[in-house]
Amino acid sequence: MISLVAVCGRAAYDRIWPKRQSAPQWILNLIPAYSETEEEIFSCLESMVNNKTEPHKQVFCIILDGQPRDMTRYLTRTITTFDCPHVSFKGKPNTLDVVAGFYGKAPVLIVQKRKNMGKKDSLILCFDLFNYARASLPKCTQLIKDRLYDSVLPELTHQPDFEGFDMIFCTDADSALNEGAIKKLADAISHAPNAIASCGIVLVKNRQYTFWKIFQHYQYAFGQIVRRRAESFWGRVTCLPGCVTMIAVRPECGPAIEHYARPVECIPVLRHQVQYLGTDRRLTYCLLKQGTHLKTIFVQDAVSETAPPESLKHYLSQRRRWGSNAYFNNYFYLFGPNMALWTRYVALVELLRMTLVYYRVANTGMLIYNIVLEVKAGTFSALALAALLVVSQFPTVMFAGSVTISKHLRPHLLQFFLGFFANKCAAFPLSLAVFTNVAMNLGSHSWGMTGLTPKVARPADSPV
């Protein structure tokens, strides 16, 4: 109901009071990569270069983890290369190889980490370099930042007095953005003075009618349309997806990244679990923790498409990480400082829903068993069951209505329809398997399986 009110209210508000044109913003577009191929990385870059972000201006930053690649062959012009020492957020020494140049007319920074330090380290490095600095910023990172702002960025941006970025856009190398997504996210932050971040919707790429794609496509869309849109009504989206998120460059980001990068020095495994395994949801918590006045916004028509796991083994590996992040971070949303009452309520509901997964499955089995017994005995009441179905399936009805009226989601209607039945058949056993996997791996910080995306055809070396 909250989600429905939010959509109708926003549509009416925008019609009565149209939004003003946003002032031009400088946007740093981050693409972290590990196992993705060069073709996937530059396919993602291509979708961002041609995303029609005017009047906003962009610089692209590709951060590569531990797998040497010759990325310079894709650049039409190189202006500088250098290497420099770096210390990861875990205190491990590393070396960065930095290349600055142009992909067509697009300014690009390529940062190659010689040792793999993980996606979280790439996010922290990006914020250290291009957002407000945290108090514990390593000296070597400060030296890199000074060099970039003194000589590299002025040449890339054609701005001799370039002072810094206004926003940082984060995506994944295996994702593709729909046209206008970056501009919509930037405009959303520009129109909301207290917005520290905005995010779009994540859908499945390459929509073949396979079980895993229709199953996850429905899951992705349902969770975002029903839950995330309701959270956005209060300005408290609790998970900013890593493949389509815009973060403002604000003073609050310095303390947020300080908390995000802080080593855990206490015993409870809960803190270790969220700090060393969590990325997107943990970052969102660190941002919202900086004050109840800050808002995170969901922009439904800013669409990113990503490649989901396509086997049971890959699915369980990914959902073990996602489930752990969702479950344990909700404890911090529930009990942490500076959290709005609505956020605490949502966290409590999610904790109960996930904790009672075994009970919910058993309860559903008992319901079906008793219905069968009543049908055999001739005492079954369809009216009583109808009332139960109306209550339990109301979110599904609202989701179907939202998909039908949305021009961005309507083309996916058939896949969502098939995905609904796929989830009804497989959701319960897979939910049990995922939560059991989360519980059995408590204390593990392993990222899990990588290379979940299918290979793509190699394009021409020169940019289009």
User: For 138-150, what is each residue's pLDDT tens digit?
Assistant: 999 999 999 999 9
Q: In the prediction, which pLDDT does 207 show?
A: 73
**CATH class of segment(s) 2-211+236-310:** alpha beta
Whole-number Å distance between alpha carbons of 11 and 14: 5
Q: In the prediction, which pLDDT does 454 show?
A: 45
Question: Residues in the chain with pLDDT < 70?
Answer: 1-7, 10-11, 13, 267, 448, 450-464
Q: Which residues contact 158 (CB under 8 A, 6 or more apart)?
A: none
Q: In the prediction, which pLDDT does 70 show?
A: 83
Which residues are paired to 305 by β-bridges?
176, 203
CA 82 from centre of chain: 31
For the question of whether the overall pTM of this predicted structure is more than 0.95, the answer is no
Q: In the prediction, which pLDDT does 199 show?
A: 97
Tokens linked to 447 = 């990222």
Q: In the prediction, which pLDDT does 458 show?
A: 38
CB-based burial label for 250 (10 Å; 0-12, 13-18, 19+) = buried
Identify the residue whose tokens are 């990569």.
Answer: 33
Whole-number Å distance between alpha carbons of 201 and 239: 12
pLDDT tens digits for range 69-115: 888 888 999 999 999 999 999 899 999 999 999 999 999 999 999 99
Tokens linked to 333 = 């949303």
How confident is the prediction for the chain on average, in pLDDT? 89
